[in-house]
C-alpha cells in the first residue's frame, strides 16, 4: 500500500468542514479590517529564504525541502555544445563518442578513443562531478579504458584549490558557457519572504500601505509529532509599505494584534495568551548579539552542539534552544529589553498603550525572540493551553529591514502567521466538525425507472439553495433508500414514483418526526426549507 509521506496527512470530511468554517470566518474578519488576499507560489528560489529568514535559523539550516532544478539539462547542454565544437562538420556525435550520453545520463561523460581523452561534463563542480571523476579513475586503473587526458568541462568556475589527479595525471578543467540556468528551489517554509519578494517585484509601494493576507500550505522538514507536520497550513497577514504610508506606526502593530484577538474570539477560542516582546532595531540587536557573544564565551562549552555553533555565528539563536539542560544557562543571559534605546522603547510603549485601551490582554515575555532572523521591534506569539508542547498557535512581528535585505526599498512591515492545523485542533474540543457540517436537507429516492424524473427534481430544488442528495433506482427496496438517507443525515426523504410524477405531488417524509405528507411540486422547496 502506498501511504502519505511521513509528516503529511490527508484532511478528510467531516474535518474539512471545520477547516472551511475557520477559513470562512477569517476571510470575514480580514474583510472587516480591509485586508486583501495575496497568493504567492508554493516554491521560490532557495536564496530568498536564505537571505530573508536567515542562514543560521533552524528553518534554513535544517528544515527546508530543496532541490536543484534544471541541472541535468544544463549538464547535457554543456556536453552537446562541447562535443559539437570539437567534431568536424561531417562527423555525427555518435561516431565521435560511441557511448553517447543522453539527457537522462547521471552526468554526461565521453570517452574519445581517437584523442585518448575521457571527458566529464558538469554545469558546476558538484559532488556528482567528483563521483564521475572517481569512476574515470577506476576505469583507467582497471585497464578498461585507455586515455592520456582527463578533462572536466564546466560552466561555473571550479572552487578555489580544486585539483584531482589519477596517478599523476591531473584533471584539466575547461570552462564553457551555456545558455542554461539551473537553480536551487525550495518549498516555502513560510510566506513572509514570498510576500516581501512580491512587494518588491511588483512595486507594490505604489499602492501605499499594503494589507495582505494568505492561506496556504508551508513545508518544513521537522520531526513530526502532534501539532507538528512537514506540510502544514498557515493563515497569515502582512502590513507593509513605504515609511510615508505609516507602515512603521505602533498603531499598525496594535491593530494587527487586536485583529488577532477578535479573530480568535470570533472562532470561540477564548483561553489564549498573547506573549509580547520587543526585539529592538537591527542596530540594537547588533549590540545585544555582541553582549550575548561575550556572555556565552565562557559558558558555551557546557551547552549543546547547536548552541556552541550559534554562540559564535548568531548568538541570538541560542535563545531558541529547547534543550532542557541549556535552559538554566539561557535564563541568566542578558535581556534584549535592556538594550532598547529611546525610539524602540517609545514604539513598544505605544503598542502596549493602545492594546490596553482597546482591551486586549497581553503578557510581556523578554525571552521571546522568535526563530526567524528578520524580526525587529515588536515580536509576539499567541499560545493556547490545549495544544501541549507545540502550544504556539500563531506567531509574528515586525520586519522593518526585510525588504532592504532582499534588495528592495525601505518598507517597514508587520505580520503574523497562524498555524491552521493547530487552530483547528484547539477548536475541535468545543466545536466538533459535525456541528458545522451542512447535512443534506433532502434525500431523493427514485423508484424503479424514475432516475430522470428524480434528477429533474433535484436540479429544481438545488436552485433554491437546498442541499440535495440524489439516490438512484438500483435500491429495489425503499428500505435501503431510507437507510442511505439516514446515513447521509438528511432531514427529509422524497419519494419519486410513477404515481407521484403523474400527480405532480411527492411523498415527503420528515426523518426525525416520521411525519409524511404529499406536497405539490411547486411547494416542495418551501416546505423543505421549513
CB 110 within 8 A of CB 83: yes
Least distance CB 125 / ligand HAM (angstroms): 35
Phi, psi of 317, rounded to the nearest 5 degrees:
-70, -15
Judged by beta carbon, residue 182 or residue 419, the one nearer ligand HAM is 419
Coil/strand/helix, residue 16: helix
Three-state DSSP class for residue 483: helix
Per DSSP, 246 falls in state: T
8 A C-beta contact, residue 288 and residue 379: no
Q: How far is the CB of 210 from ligand HAM (least distance, A)?
A: 13
CA 107 vs CA 77, 130, 425: distances in Å: 11, 11, 47
Please, what is the minimum distance in Å from the beta carbon of residue 285 to ligand HAM? Answer: 16
422 makes contact with ligand HAM (CB under 6 A): yes
Q: Which of 137, 197, 220, 317 binds ligand HAM (CB under 6 A)?
A: 220
The grid coordinates listed for 243 are 515609511
Residue 52 found at the interface with ligand HAM (CB under 6 A): no
For residue 507 the three cell numbers come to 411523498
**Residue 111 near ligand HAM by CB under 6 A:** no
Nearer to ligand HAM, 377 or 422 (CB): 422
Q: Which is nearer to ligand HAM, 368 or 461 (CB)?
A: 368
Tell which one of 52, 54, 182, 419 touches ligand HAM (CB under 6 A). Answer: 419
Which lies closer to ligand HAM via its Cβ, residue 54 or residue 396? 396
Q: Among 154, 186, 234, 352, indicate the residue that binds ligand HAM (CB under 6 A).
A: 234
Q: How far is the CB of 426 from ligand HAM (least distance, A)?
A: 10
Beta-carbon contacts of 152 under 8 Å, excluding residues fewer than 6 positions away, are: 119, 120, 122, 125, 129, 133, 158, 164, 171, 172, 173, 174
Number of residues that bind ligand HAM (CB under 6 A): 27
Q: How far is the CB of 246 from ligand HAM (least distance, A)?
A: 18
H or E, element range at 510:
strand 505-510
Which CB sits closer to ligand HAM, 229 or 443?
Answer: 229
Residue 252 binds ligand HAM, judged by CB under 6 A: no
Percent helix, strand, coil in the chain (nearest 5)? 40, 20, 35
User: Should residue 405 be labelled a site residue for ligand HAM when binding is judged by CB under 6 A?
Assistant: no
Strands (E) located in 423-496: 442-446, 468-470, 492-496
Out of 415, 440, 471, 497, the only residue in the binding site for ligand HAM (CB under 6 A) is 415
* Whole-number Å distance between alpha carbons of 71 and 60: 22
**One residue of 52, 54, 242, 395 binding ligand HAM per CB under 6 A:** 395
Closest CA to 154 of 130, 127, 175: 175
Does 190 bind ligand HAM (CB under 6 A)? Our answer is yes
- Tell me: does residue 54 bind ligand HAM (CB under 6 A): no
CB environment 89-108: b (16+ within 10 A), e (fewer) = eeeeeeebbeeebeeebebb
Name the minimum Å distance from CB 414 to ligand HAM: 7
Dmax (CA) of the chain: 100
Q: Which parts of 333-362 interact with ligand HAM (CB under 6 A)?
A: none
Sketch the per residue contact string, 369 through 388, with ligand HAM: x for CB under 6 A, - otherwise: --xx----------------
Assess 229 for contact with ligand HAM (CB under 6 A). Answer: yes
Q: Which among 22-30, 267-275, 389-397, 463-471 is the span making contact with ligand HAM, rule CB under 6 A?
A: 389-397
Of residues 52, 54, 182, 236, which one binds ligand HAM by CB under 6 A? 236
Q: Among all residues, whose Cβ is closest to ligand HAM?
A: 419
Applying CB under 6 A, among 279, 394, 466, 496 the residue interacting with ligand HAM is 394
- CA distances from residue 422 to 44, 106, 156, 384 in whole angstroms, order as listed: 25, 42, 45, 9
Nearest to 200 by CA among 256, 253, 246, 242: 242
Nearest distance in Å: CB 48, ligand HAM: 13
Of 265, 291, 298, the closest CA to residue 423 belongs to: 265
Contact residues: ligand HAM, CB under 6 A: 190-192, 220, 222, 227-229, 232, 234, 236, 238, 371-372, 392-397, 399, 415-417, 419, 421-422
Amino acid at each position: 500500500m502506498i501511504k502519505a509521506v511521513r509528516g503529511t496527512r490527508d484532511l478528510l470530511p467531516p474535518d474539512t468542514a471545520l477547516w472551511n468554517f475557520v477559513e470562512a470566518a477569517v476571510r470575514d474578519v480580514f474583510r472587516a479590517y480591509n485586508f486583501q488576499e495575496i497568493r504567492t507560489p508554493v516554491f521560490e528560489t532557495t536564496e530568498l529564504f536564505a537571505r530573508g529568514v536567515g542562514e543560521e535559523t533552524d528553518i534554513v539550516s535544517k528544515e527546508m525541502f530543496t532541490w536543484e532544478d534544471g541541472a541535468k539539462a544544463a549538464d547535457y547542454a554543456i556536453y552537446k555544445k562541447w562535443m559539437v565544437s570539437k567534431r568536424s562538420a561531417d562527423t555525427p556525435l555518435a561516431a565521435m563518442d560511441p557511448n553517447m550520453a543522453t539527457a537522462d545520463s547521471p552526468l554526461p561523460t565521453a570517452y574519445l578513443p581517437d584523442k585518448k581523452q575521457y571527458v566529464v561534463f558538469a554545469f558546476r563542480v558538484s559532488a556528482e562531478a567528483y563521483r564521475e571523476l572517481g569512476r574515470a579513475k577506476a576505469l583507467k586503473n582497471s585497464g578498461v579504458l585507455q586515455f592520456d587526458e582527463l578533462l572536466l568541462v564546466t560552466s561555473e568556475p571550479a572552487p578555489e584549490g580544486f585539483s584531482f589527479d589519477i596517478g599523476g595525471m591531473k584533471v584539466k578543467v575547461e570552462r564553457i558557457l551555456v545558455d542554461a540556468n539551473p537553480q536551487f528551489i525550495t518549498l516555502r517554509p513560510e510566506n513572509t519572504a514570498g510576500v516581501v519578494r512580491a512587494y518588491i517585484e511588483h512595486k507594490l509601494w505604489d499602492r501605499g500601505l499594503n494589507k495582505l493576507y494568505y492561506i496556504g500550505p508551508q513545508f518544513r522538514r521537522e520531526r513530526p509529532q502532534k501539532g507538528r507536520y512537514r506540510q502544514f497550513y498557515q493563515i497569515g497577514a502582512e502590513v507593509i509599505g513605504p515609511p510615508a504610508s505609516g507602515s512603521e506606526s505602533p498603531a499598525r502593530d496594535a491593530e494587527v494584534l487586536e485583529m488577532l484577538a477578535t479573530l480568535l474570539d470570533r472562532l470561540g477560542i477564548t483561553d489564549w495568551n498573547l506573549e509580547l516582546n520587543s526585539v529592538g532595531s537591527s542596530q540594537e540587536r547588533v549590540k545585544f548579539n555582541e553582549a550575548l557573544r561575550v556572555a556565552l564565551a565562557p559558558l558555551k562549552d557546557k551547552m549543546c552542539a547547536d548552541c556552541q555553533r550559534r554562540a559564535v555565528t548568531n548568538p541570538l539563536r541560542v535563545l531558541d534552544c529547547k534543550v532542557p539542560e541549556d535552559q538554566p544557562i539561557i535564563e541568566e543571559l542578558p535581556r534584549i529589553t535592556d538594550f532598547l534605546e529611546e525610539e524602540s522603547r517609545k514604539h513598544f510603549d505605544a503598542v502596549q498603550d493602545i492594546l490596553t485601551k482597546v482591551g486586549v490582554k497581553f503578557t510581556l515575555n523578554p525571552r521571546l525572540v522568535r526563530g526567524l532572523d528578520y524580526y525587529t521591534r515588536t515580536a509576539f506569539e499567541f499560545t493556547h493551553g490545549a495544544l501541549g508542547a507545540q502550544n504556539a498557535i500563531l506567531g509574528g512581528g515586525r520586519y522593518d529591514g526585510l525588504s532592504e535585505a532582499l534588495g528592495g526599498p525601505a518598507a517597514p512591515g508587520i505580520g503574523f502567521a497562524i498555524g491552521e492545523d493547530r487552530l483547528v485542533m484547539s477548536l475541535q474540543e468545543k466545536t466538533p466538525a459535525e456541528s458545522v457540517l451542512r447535512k443534506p436537507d433532502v434525500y431523493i429516492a427514485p423508484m424503479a425507472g424514475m432516475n430522470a424524473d428524480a434528477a429533474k427534481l433535484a436540479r429544481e430544488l438545488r436552485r433554491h439553495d437546498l442541499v440535495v442528495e440524489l439516490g438512484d433506482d438500483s435500491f429495489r427496496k425503499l428500505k435501503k433508500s431510507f437507510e442511505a438517507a439516514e446515513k447521509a443525515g438528511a432531514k427529509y426523504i422524497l419519494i419519486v414514483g410513477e404515481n407521484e410524477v403523474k400527480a405532480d405531488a411527492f411523498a415527503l417524509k420528515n426523518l426525525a418526526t416520521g411525519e409524511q405528507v404529499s406536497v405539490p411540486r411547486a411547494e416542495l422547496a418551501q416546505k423543505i426549507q421549513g
